[in-house]
Chains A and B, each alone.
Chain A
Amino acid sequence: DAKTTQPTSMDCAEGRAANLPCNHSTISGNEYVYWYRQIHSQGPQYIIHGLKNNETNEMASLIITEDRKSSTLILPHATLRDTAVYYCIVRYHAGNNRKLIWGLGTSLAVNP
């Protein structure tokens, strides 16, 4: 029952920008978009999150469309260590029950 859709896999050349798309067409007004990644055999790692405005931190940039129905995570200069599964998640509210609904993510392979 994930509320987001992402491509199953993507490839990127080392040193180039990796642009990972995510559709969240049913997002509601107070739901944030979160991005996490999971490197093989490790726990998920927080990358970035946003509500309406574009966001940037030391790891990545998040571009959210004006209608908030989709977003793109940008890794400006991908390295081999960025090879991971990237999850786009919408924070879901159901009364007092707040939780993240995880999909299957995009498996990003950064190639030398």
Chain B
Amino acid sequence: DTAVSQTPKYLVTQMGNDKSIKCEQNLGHDTMYWYKQDSKKFLKIMFSYNNKELIINETVPNRFSPKSPDKAHLNLHINSLELGDSAVYFCASSWGHTLGNTIYFGEGSWLTVV
């Protein structure tokens, strides 16, 4: 049973399109995250939700909008895709968002914008 699952795993789309990546966790965690890993392999947090409430919102373009319908889901919607959005996007979850909590990652979604 996959703990943190995200779909699709691979996505190739044209510039200007709108796309969504879905994420679900079955660990009973109350905090979920979206991370972006660029071509240089830096992993940077984008958003974090705790009990459906946004608690971390890094400096990302407004074209990126997370949506958390419930504690087990955190979807990422991207409007007007640009070439620079090409990256691997990782969803993750944890119990709580304070010190000492372990973060569990999904397998990643490879987004290529052409």
Interface residues on B, range: 20 to 34
| Contacts across chains A and B counted by CB atoms under 8 Å | 46
- The reply to whether B103 and A100 contact each other, CB–CB distance below 8 Å, is yes
Residues of chain B contacted by A100 (CB below 8 angstroms): 45, 103
Instruction: Mark A residues whose CB is within 8 Å of B.
Output: 30, 32, 41-46, 49, 85, 87, 91, 96-100, 102-105
- The reply to whether A32 and B100 contact each other, CB–CB distance below 8 Å, is yes
Q: Is B44 part of the binding interface, using a Cβ–Cβ cutoff of 8 Å?
A: yes
Q: Is B86 part of the binding interface, using a Cβ–Cβ cutoff of 8 Å?
A: no
Task: Report B112 CB to chain A, min CB distance, Å.
Answer: 14
Q: Which residue on chain A has the smallest CB distance to residue B6?
A: A43
- The reply to whether A43 and B108 contact each other, CB–CB distance below 8 Å, is yes
- The reply to whether A46 and B42 contact each other, CB–CB distance below 8 Å, is no
Residues of chain A contacted by B42 (CB below 8 angstroms): 102-104
Q: Which of B23-79 contact A (CB under 8 A)?
A: 40-45, 48, 55-56, 58
Q: Given A43-B107, A43-B108, A104-B42, are A99 and B102 also a contact pair (CB < 8 Å)? A: no
Q: Which residue on chain A has the smallest CB distance to residue B45?
A: A99
